[in-house]
Amino acid sequence: YGCAGCNRINGEIEVKENGKISFGQIGATRMLCPNMGTERAILLALEEVKGYEGTEQEITLTNEDGKALITLVKRPELSINSLTGKWKISKVNGEAIETLGTVETAPFLEFDAEKKTVHGNAGCNIVNGEVVLDEEVKGSIKFQQMISTMMSGPGMDVEVKVMEAIHHVSSFTMPDEKTVIMTDPNGNETLTLVKE
């Protein structure tokens, strides 16, 4: 299972000896996204995969002639420890914070792995809550019992969008050590966090 750039994909795989591999029919969700070209290229390449080579950290999927089709790089294990520290909220639902309006305080989230809590600012008010991860599901995350102060001022338009996005978060990925992308149950980006 995985994501082809927009849609979630899943299917069966048969790994054989001597670096041979074959995929069964691959199913995909049917969402429409801005850049479908990348997804089409990935799905077409997967149909041609007949072999693989590489290490535990990086694998190249090849066609019948040994030509490289797709290179996969292993992501770091995701856990609450991956989130420890302070993260600036750089995007909400794919839009840069700067385009959403004026804020009194730059929105951020700070995670405490030991206590499984989150503290931050949504644009105007201070927010606090709990973080729940399902250890059985890689990258699963939910925010619970989120409470905030009740001030009003600049940043409320942004804050409404940030809090709504927080309530829809169901999973996260880390394309690198300084970036977290949180998504809703349909795989849509809700929050992008950048390490401070």
Are the CB atoms for 78 and 139 separated by under 8 Å? yes
* Residue 137 pLDDT class (50, 70, 90 cuts): confident
pLDDT reading at 49 higher than 80? yes
Which residue type sits at 174? M
Rounded to two decimals, the pTM is: 0.63
Are the CB atoms for 183 and 170 separated by under 8 Å? yes
Alpha-carbon distance of 76 to 173, in angstroms, equals 9
Give the residue, 77 or 7, on which the prediction is more confident.
7
Give me the pLDDT at residue 166, please.
96
Give me the pLDDT at residue 6, please.
80
Give the residue, 112 or 77, on which the prediction is more confident.
112
Alpha-carbon distance of 129 to 115, in angstroms, equals 11
pLDDT reading at 196 higher than 90? no
pLDDT reading at 109 higher than 70? yes
Question: Which of 172, 151, 156, 41 minimizes the C-alpha distance to 107?
Answer: 156
